[in-house]
Structure 1
Amino acid sequence: MKSGLAEGHTATIMTEVSPSMHAQFEGSVVHPVYSTVSMVYHMEWASRKIILPFLEEDEEGMGAKVTVEHMAPAGTGASLEIKAAVIKYEKNIIVTEVIVRDFKNDRIIGRGEVKQVVLPKEKIRERIERI
């Protein structure tokens, strides 16, 4: 990895809850609110944005662990801020704390941690080929 990444680095994404983000299985909506699946996606995306500027040409990040606490519902149209902050960085392992906040109502929707591992692209390719 390129130098410069450190604990405290942050990245934020904003999104608006849409029907495609509703809690649903096999096309059947269970609840018309922001799903935990969508929350995990956004947590991983915010966390990935942190490492992108530091990846070397021959490196790639891989998700290794996600922990999530979905604390409150967010309905269609809610404006969400997803902010990730590096809380641990050792060798090729980056752990971020992520907070999902309803921007308009200033309340926490969810929180969690995302662990990423940076590996050479060749090593990732070899692992995939063994599947």
Structure 2
Amino acid sequence: MKTTPRSGMTGEERITVDASNRIVFADDRMPAVLATPWLVAHLEYAARHAIAPCLEDHERSVGTFIEVEHLGATPEGVTVICRARVIHVDGPSVTFQVEARDEVELIARGIHRRRVIDVDRFARRLARKRSRLEG
């Protein structure tokens, strides 16, 4: 890492609910709302943004843990702001408090952990695993 992430660093990601990220089971009775998997993805993106300035070119952060309460539904056309704040750093492991708000209320909150990895080492490990699967 260029610099060690520090408590209080933040990242943000915005998402507007549309056909690409809403629930797939919306119908005449069930309104189209933001799907939980997309909400979780954007919370992870916010955390990734928070520590990206600390990383070397050969490093990335990968998610290793997430616990999120999806507290409220957000209808199509509404923007959600996902935020992540570093709350703990233990070597390459960084823990975040995450939350998401739409234009009316808090819709999610939780904890997320990411690990800083060397992408070349990661690619080699994955190649070894792939060769074991193919061979």
**Normalised by the size of structure 1, how large is the TM-score?**
0.88
Residue 98 (structure 1) aligns with: 98
Residue 128 (structure 1) aligns with: 126
State the secondary structure of the residue aligned to 1:85: strand
User: Pairwise CA RMSD of aligned residues?
Assistant: 1.5
Residue 35 (structure 2) aligns with: 35
Percent sequence identity over matched residues?
28
Kept after mapping to 1: 8 A contact 2:9/2:51: no
Kept after mapping to 1: 8 A contact 2:11/2:49: yes
CA displacement, residues 62-111 of structure 1 (integer Å, 9 cap, x when unaligned): 11111111111000011211111001111101111111001x21x11111
**1:121 deviation in Å?**
1.7
Structure 2 unaligned blocks of 5 or more? 130-135
Count of residues paired in the alignment: 126
Larger strand fraction of residues: 1
Residue 54 (structure 1) aligns with: 54
Whole-angstrom distance in 2 between the partners of 1:5 and 1:65: 18
> Is structure 2 residue 75 aligned with structure 1 residue 75?
yes
Matching residue within 98, 113, 116 for 1:115: 113
Whole-angstrom distance in 1 between the partners of 2:14 and 2:115: 24
* Structure whose alpha-carbon radius of gyration is higher: 2
Residue 15 (structure 2) aligns with: 15
Structure 1 unaligned blocks of 5 or more? none
CA displacement, residues 25-60 of structure 1 (integer Å, 9 cap, x when unaligned): xxx547510110111110110000012111112222
**Normalised by the size of structure 2, how large is the TM-score?**
0.86
Runs ≥4 residues deviating over 4 A = none
